[in-house]
Amino acid sequence: MIGRFARNRPTATAALGADTLAQALARGAVVPPSCVGVIFDQGGQTRRVEAGTRIDCGVHEQAACFHPGPYQSDLVPFAAAPELGLRLTFALDRPDPRVARQRFDLFLASEAAEGIALAAFCQLLEAAVQRELAQGNLELPPCTSLDEFDVFRSGLNQLLYTRFGVSVADCVPVDLGAVDYAQLLLARAHASAPNAPAHSAIAEAHPVTPDDAAALRRLFLELPCVTSALRLLVLPPGQALFRQHQGLLHRLAQLNLEIATMPALALAAPGVTLAPKQQRLRALHSVAALATLDEAWALLARLTLAAPADLADALDQAERIVANLELQCAARRLTP
């Protein structure tokens, strides 16, 4: 029997800084040496705690800690060319006095409250880089010159800092060695086969429902931060850009309100349960909105480096992103 004065179990922290980037901390635990503690509430407000400090959480707060690094990982920038890699050396950002909430702290609160392994975090970095390259927002052509690679590095640095709070110390191209293309092609064939398990009768009878709650939490916590960053954008003189900018801020404010008042996943009406198929459809709309949110973070990174002459095109892209968010949020709300 556990007594009322039982102590919290000690938290294993040996892997921090090696295989583990961040992990949850129990109430009353001590932040390990060389690590940083982060306490956050349900609304995403965060505060940092120094190493050696005992965690003192409120009733509705959670705590985690992370090791700032440095870390090293090999990323594959092009999914179709797995032998080509980028060797990335990075560290987590130091406190920025210009902002009330550090970007990596927001990442912990919205995406990794229970902690995250280094391998899983690097997969997120890789996916973000692959998406920007596929959309043409970053360019890494064959036989890249030093000047072209410097431009790519600048965009990569800003992308990872804006999206994850990661500071890139070094990035060099590497050959990842032999790749078993036969296994890759076999895996793709199984994934696209008509009789693949994902399309079986069992899978259709018990479809995997995306994590609607996690998607909505990210939208609820992160979209206001995207709105705030866009509000601080410095525009060149001109009434047209000013009106477009103000219109975007107004639409984002409406989206923030809509996300904060989203109907519960399982309810069609008060006391009326929504069918499982419709629940899955709602969740798919949430996940689609989440993919658009990632595009918004990437656009903010590009806006930071954009010349004044390019802001008009960037705001047009922002219009598209906001329209997609509005579409997915409205579709989730209106799912019968």
Q: What percent of the chain has pLDDT over 70?
A: 85
What is the reported pLDDT for 10? 45
In one-letter notation, the amino acid at residue 10 is P
> In degrees rounded to 5, what are phi and psi of residue 71?
-125, 160
Query: Is 212 or 190 the better-scoring residue by pLDDT?
Result: 212
Which range has highest mean pLDDT (18-27, 198-207, 213-222)?
213-222
4 band by pLDDT with thresholds 50, 70 and 90: very low
What is the reported pLDDT for 321? 94
Could you tell me if 86 and 173 are in contact, meaning their C-beta atoms sit under 8 angstroms apart? yes
Helices marked H in 87-166: 103-111, 118-134, 146-164
Could you tell me if 115 and 23 are in contact, meaning their C-beta atoms sit under 8 angstroms apart? yes
Q: Tell me which residue has tokens 């503690």.
A: 37
- Over residues 88-101, mean pLDDT: 76
Query: How far is 210 from 26, CA to CA, in rounded Å?
Result: 28
194 band by pLDDT with thresholds 50, 70 and 90: low
Q: What percent of the chain has pLDDT over 90?
A: 30
201 band by pLDDT with thresholds 50, 70 and 90: very low
CA dihedral 239, 240, 246, 248 (to 10 degrees): -170
Query: Is 185 or 107 the better-scoring residue by pLDDT?
Result: 107
Note the Cα 139 to chain centre separation in Å: 21
Q: Is 43 helix (H, G, I), strand (E, B) or coil?
A: coil
Give me 187's structure tokens.
């895996």
- CB neighbours (10 Å) of residue 187? 11
What is the reported pLDDT for 14? 61
Residue 65 has pLDDT above 50, yes or no: yes
Give me 22's structure tokens.
């961040």
Residue 20 has pLDDT above 90, yes or no: no
Residue 205 has pLDDT above 50, yes or no: no
What is the reported pLDDT for 268? 78
- Over residues 202-226, mean pLDDT: 76
Rg, Å, the chain Cα set: 22
What is the reported pLDDT for 97? 63
Residue 198 has pLDDT above 80, yes or no: no
Query: How far is 65 from 14, CA to CA, in rounded Å?
Result: 12
For residue 252, the surrounding DSSP H or E stretch is helix 239-260
Query: Is 254 or 84 the better-scoring residue by pLDDT?
Result: 254
Q: Which residues contact 234 (CB under 8 A, 6 or more apart)?
A: none
